[in-house]
């Protein structure tokens, strides 16, 4: 079994949930027509990311239901970035994965908060995510800054994931993360990395684009440029994961007792 993944690189409309969900619906339809089994949005795409005090009123429970309806209507799984309000009123930077039938497969809250922007708006999640399967392909997720810590991707690889999906809102001056670090994460863990970023600007941020899907041997399977808007699509093959781990024995040759 394989899984074709579509990543949506887009600027979104800061603070306009209806407009952003319309973009997701259109992208889901296109991705399904092109054979994808899952669509991935950037970090916090449903509401906007760097929108300050406008965020809290938009962080409503119905956002997940609206994503689920799009998934059902389009016949494609969706991993969407959105805010989540906790019982105590705190807000997390979250992603939710919905299958093609509208059922929730996974919800993850960003554990590594980046700088004053994240810490002003969000509280950190308390746990890294587990692994779920779509069409026999084992997936885990991270959000943006999470992937910059090598332990997070290594944990997913040791858990048997074929791919780590990373919705992100990576901004200037950190284009080197998208360009250089992501292929390294894939290579050092023999895992596919799906890195889906924003473009354009939001407040004082300029996003760097450069979304990519990288194979376990470090080969870039699909990518978009710094300002491109659209879908990047590639197929995740668990056999490629297994071959990479035979050819590059980093995981097998680890000596964790020394670390």
Catalytic residue among 43, 84, 148, 202: 43
Q: Using alpha carbons only, what angle is made at residue 165 by residues 21 and 103, rounded to the nearest 5 degrees?
A: 55
Question: 193 near 223, Cβ under 8 Å?
Answer: no
Catalytic residue among 30, 84, 110, 202: 110
Q: Is the pTM of this model over 0.85?
A: yes
Q: Quick check: is 258 in a domain?
A: no
pLDDT at 253: 96
User: What's the domain count of the chain?
Assistant: 1
* pLDDT tens column, 198-231: 999 999 999 999 999 999 999 999 999 999 999 9
* pLDDT tens column, 38-52: 999 999 999 999 999
Q: Quick check: is 137 in a domain?
A: yes
Q: What is the mean pLDDT of the chain?
A: 97
Portion of the chain with pLDDT greater than 70, in percent: 100
* Mean per-residue pLDDT, 10-21: 98
Write the DSSP string, 24-64: HHHHHHHHHHTT-SEEEPPTTTTT-SS-GGGHHHH--THHH
Can you give the CATH number for the domain in which 40 is found?
3.60.110.10
Cβ-based neighbour number of residue 123 at 10 Å: 16
Q: Quick check: is 257 in a domain?
A: no
pLDDT at 247: 95
Q: Quick check: is 44 in a domain?
A: yes
Active site residue 43: yes
Q: Quick check: is 259 in a domain?
A: no
* Mean per-residue pLDDT, 104-111: 98
Active site residue 13: no
Using alpha carbons, select from 202, 228, 220, 180 the residue that is nearest to residue 45: 202
pLDDT at 104: 98
pLDDT at 151: 97
Q: Quick check: is 17 in a domain?
A: yes
Active site residue 144: yes
Q: Quick check: is 100 in a domain?
A: yes
* pLDDT tens column, 82-100: 999 999 999 999 999 999 9
Q: Quick check: is 99 in a domain?
A: yes
pLDDT at 116: 95
Question: 146 near 110, Cβ under 8 Å?
Answer: yes
What is the span of the domain harbouring residue 153?
3-252
Catalytic residue among 30, 84, 144, 148: 144
């Amino acid at each position: 079994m394989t899984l074709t993944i579509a990543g949506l690189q887009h600027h979104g409309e800061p603070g306009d949930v209806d407009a952003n969900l319309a973009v997701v619906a259109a992208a889901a339809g296109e991705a399904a027509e092109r054979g994808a089994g899952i669509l991935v949005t950037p970090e916090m795409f449903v509401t906007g990311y760097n929108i300050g005090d406008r965020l809290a009123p938009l962080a409503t429970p119905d956002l997940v239901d609206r994503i689920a309806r799009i998934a059902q209507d389009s016949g494609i799984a969706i991993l969407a970035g959105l805010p989540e309000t906790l019982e105590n009123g705190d807000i997390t930077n979250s992603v939710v994965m919905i299958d093609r039938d509208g059922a929730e497969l996974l919800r993850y809250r960003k554990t590594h908060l980046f700088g004053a922007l994240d810490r002003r708006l969000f509280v950190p999640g308390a746990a890294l995510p587990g692994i779920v399967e779509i069409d026999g392909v084992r997936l885990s997720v991270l959000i943006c800054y999470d992937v910059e810590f090598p332990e997070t991707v290594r944990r997913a690889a040791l858990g048997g994931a074929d791919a780590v999906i990373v919705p992100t809102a990576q901004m200037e001056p950190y284009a080197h993360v998208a360009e250089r670090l992501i292929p390294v994460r894939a290579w050092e863990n023999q895992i596919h990395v799906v890195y889906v970023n924003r473009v354009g600007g939001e407040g004082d941020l300029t996003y760097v684009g450069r979304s990519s899907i990288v194979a376990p041997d470090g080969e870039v399977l699909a990518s978009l440029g710094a300002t491109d808007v659209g879908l990047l699509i590639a197929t995740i093959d668990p056999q490629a994961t297994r071959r990479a781990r035979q050819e590059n024995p980093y995981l097998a040759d680890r000596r964790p007792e020394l670390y």
